[in-house]
Amino acid sequence: MTRAEENYLKAIYQLTAGMNQRVSTTALAERLETKPSSATDMLQKLHDKAMVKYTKYKGAQLSPEGRHIASQIVRKHRLWEVFLVEKLAFGWDQVHDIAEQLEHIKSPDLVERLDAFLDCPKVDPHGDPIPDKNGNIEQINKILLCDQTPNSRSMLMGIKDTDDAFLKYLSQKNIKLGSVITVLDKEPFDESMTVDIDQNTHFISKIISTNIYVQPL
């Protein structure tokens, strides 16, 4: 697998959230910031390699083999993110680009040793689940903060948007995985919230609260 091939497989995997759906040429091209014609080329190549099932004009979907490879790239990406944050003290917003490179390191052994070194984490620093070596994902039951009602207590389990600005907003306010959130008030007009996060009061707009996953306590 070349780096480009791996990136295409990963993109299909992520676009379908690991489900076995079809992905259009254009959607794929957009995600990889490339042109649809390039995506077509690659899909035909990946079809020849039996990594995807591709039908002209109908999009592509991962084969079992392709899905497995994709899951392992995601596994590597997320394990390296844990390493960067936990061991090298990087911030949430700094790790994505580096992990994007590290995920392509090829070694049968390295991933499993890294996993053990990190104590087999189940989620990455953004709360996204880490597939195991068979590609299985342990689904965590989480809901959006915007669906919580006043007086509820919950724990921050993940974030939806991993936009750089959003990540910086969170780390700047010291909001992190495991933070305990109590909804104090919810404004019916714009659905903004007043919340207590780890003993600090924050005013949170609807956009923020729809991008934070929590687990009710």
Partner DNA sequence: ATTATTTTTTAGATAAGACTAAAAATGGAA
Partner DNA sequence: TTCCATTTTTAGTCTTATCTAAAAAATAAT
For helices 3-15 and 36-48, give the axis angle rounded to 10 degrees.
Answer: 100
Using the minimum distance from each CB to a second copy, give the nearer residue, 110 or 144. Answer: 110
How many Cβ atoms are within 10 Å of 61's Cβ, its own excluded?
18
Q: Which of residues 11-30 bind DNA (CB under 7 A)?
A: 24-27
How far, in Å, CA of 69 to CA of 10, rounded? 8
Using the minimum distance from each CB to a second copy, give the nearer residue, 26 or 101. Answer: 101
Q: DSSP state, 149?
A: P
H or E element in which residue 153 lies: strand 153-159
Q: Provide the minimum distance between the beta carbon of 108 and a second copy in the complex, in angstroms, as a whole number.
A: 10
Cβ contact 145:86 at 8 Å: no
Residue 2's binding partner out of DNA, a second copy, none, with CB under 5 to 8 Å set by partner kind: DNA
Q: Which of residues 39-58 bind DNA (CB under 7 A)?
A: 39-45, 54, 56-58
Query: Nearest to residue 8, comparing CAs of 25, 17, 19, 85?
Result: 25
Cβ contact 22:63 at 8 Å: no
Binding mask 96-115 for a second copy (x = CB under 8 A): -xx--xx--xxx-xx--xx-
Binding mask 36-75 for a second copy (x = CB under 8 A): ----------------------------------------
Q: Provide the minimum distance between the beta carbon of 22 and DNA in the complex, in angstroms, as a whole number.
A: 9
Using the minimum distance from each CB to DNA, give the nearer residue, 54 or 213. Answer: 54
Question: Which burial class, exposed, middle or buried, applies to 193 when counting CB atoms under 10 A from its CB (0-12, 13-18, 19+)?
Answer: buried
Chain contacts with a second copy (rule: CB under 8 A): 84, 87-90, 94, 97-98, 101-102, 105-107, 109-110, 113-114, 117
Residues that bind DNA (CB under 7 A): 2-5, 7, 24-27, 32-45, 54, 56-59
